[in-house]
Amino acid sequence: MVGILTIGILSLQGAISEHRQSITKTLEKAKIKGTVLLVRSPKDINEIDGLIIPGGESTTIARILVQSGLYDTLRQRIQEGKLPIMGTCAGCVLLAKEMVENRENVPLLCAMDMCVKRNAFGRQKESFEKALSFSEFTEEYQAVFIRAPVITKVWGKCHILATLDQKIVAARHDQFLALSFHPELTTDLRVHRYFVKMIL
């Protein structure tokens, strides 16, 4: 990576501004020259060094991805192995190769050797915070869960980074990072810092 780092945030739905603030602060604290691009069209994908897929409703996001042409462009970059991606909540779902009970035939990005289950922790009113042991951090991470999915299994190159009550809530597969929780809703920047290091 040479020059200015450009990190894209898929800007179709979800906590876009919160991710933008978190990644901007992360770059500033690390003294890394970088900028944030709000990704809304296929041409934006070729302008970025890494991508964040925020939470939201996975079915809606997937539908817009396909309709906008973003889905095919993303799949191509994923297959080329040239685009680090962090998916949070719905983004975690979309990065998977398999989904439990995919009745709506949600088109997945198939980036990671894992299977996910949507809304595994209940509805929005059952949202909660929990301290996690994250394998890449020396101290516990206070994670925010909102209608969170879980990763039901991993295989191949995908490995577990964090669990909650024996349920997988964070995993990594090469340059792809999947999180059941919302790191953008906390002041702890360690997850965003970890993703930036994956890009560099």
pLDDT in tens, 55-104: 989 999 999 999 999 999 999 999 999 899 999 999 999 999 999 988 78
CATH code for the domain of 119: 3.40.50.880
Q: What is the DSSP string of 48-111?
A: -SEEEE--S-HHHHHHHHHHHTHHHHHHHHHHHT---EEEETHHHHHHEEEETT-TT-------
Catalytic pick from 158, 173, 184, 192? Answer: 184
Q: Which domain holds residue 11?
A: 5-199
pLDDT of res. 127: 83
- Does the annotation mark 89 as catalytic? yes
- Does the annotation mark 158 as catalytic? no
Catalytic pick from 89, 92, 115, 158? Answer: 89
pLDDT in tens, 85-94: 999 999 999 9
pTM: 0.95
pLDDT in tens, 117-131: 998 876 655 689 999
Mean pLDDT (the chain, rounded): 94
pLDDT of res. 125: 57
Catalytic pick from 19, 92, 158, 182? Answer: 182
- Does the annotation mark 182 as catalytic? yes
* Overall domain count for the chain: 1
